[in-house]
Amino acid sequence: MEVQYRPIVPGVKRLKLTVIQIVFLVLGRAFQCASQHDEEIRKEIEPWPEGFTLMMKVMPDGPSMGLEKKDNMLLFRGSQLKSANLEIYFRNVESAFMIMTPQMGSPQAFAEKRMSIKGDLGIATVFTRTLVIVMATLYPEIIVKKLVKRVPPLTLKRAGLRVWLYTFGILLGR
């Protein structure tokens, strides 16, 4: 009998994609919220040009998370952005899942080329710093210290922000 060779249609990692989508939503809202309340983040993003857009995206056409700078805060733009001034790519679903769940920190992810950057590297440097602050606000230290080089201090204000985030912040985005 003749062997039939057929192209293989790849499957879809639905569960992981959904998780990533949810994390993007949480993270995006958290960014929007934190950029209004956290002084350090505000200071970091201040020099960015008005209307600066930033996007995290799973390659090749997975979920994405857009942020736009407006009135010195970062607006969460969901997956509306098609391109942005600074694009941070996750190379594949597995990488994105690992980083978003969060099992791996961004420095290691960059080192292992699981994340790559398109655009201004200086702003990307600043963004990774703000990402650390948001992570530290979202997650307890026991998780964060494995992800980042130095855990930013959990100030009283930041602890308050964490409570706010989990109660209303993520829902409302303020």
Partner 1 sequence: MLPSYYEFHNPVKIMSGHKALDNLPSELEMLGAKCPMVITDKGVAGAGLVKIFTQSFDSSGMTIGAIFDDVPPDSSSEVVEKITAIFRKNGCDSLIALGGGSVIDTAKGVNILVTENSDDLLQFSGAEMLKKKMKPLVVIPTTSGTGSEVTVVAVISDIKRNLKMAFSSTRLLPDIALLDPRMTLTLPPKMTAATAMDAMSHAVESFINLQKNPMSDAYALAAIEMIRKNVINAVSDGNDAKVRLAMANASTMAGIAFSNSMVGVVHSLGHAAGGICHIPHGVAMNIFLPFGLEYNMSKCRDNIGRLLLPMAGADVYARTPESRRAEQMIHYLRELRKALNDLCGLPINLKQAGVTEDKLPQIAKAAINDPSIIMNPREMDENDALEILKKAFA
Q: Cβ–Cβ contacts within 10 Å for residue 72, how many?
A: 14
The interface mask with partner 1, positions 69-108, x = CB under 8 A, is --------------------------------------xx
Cis ω on the peptide bond leading into residue 102 (within 30° of 0)? yes
Residue 26 interacts with partner 1 (CB under 8 A): yes or no: no
If one asks whether residue 124 binds partner 1 (CB under 8 A), the answer comes out as yes
Structure-token pair, residue 68: 């736009």
Pairing of strands 115-118, 86-90: antiparallel
Of 29 and 57, CB closest to partner 1: 57
150 binds partner 1 (CB under 8 A): yes
Residues 34-63 touching partner 1, rule: CB under 8 A, are none
- Extract the tokens encoding 50: 């008005």
Residues that bind partner 1 (CB under 8 A): 107-108, 110-114, 116-122, 124-126, 128-129, 148-150
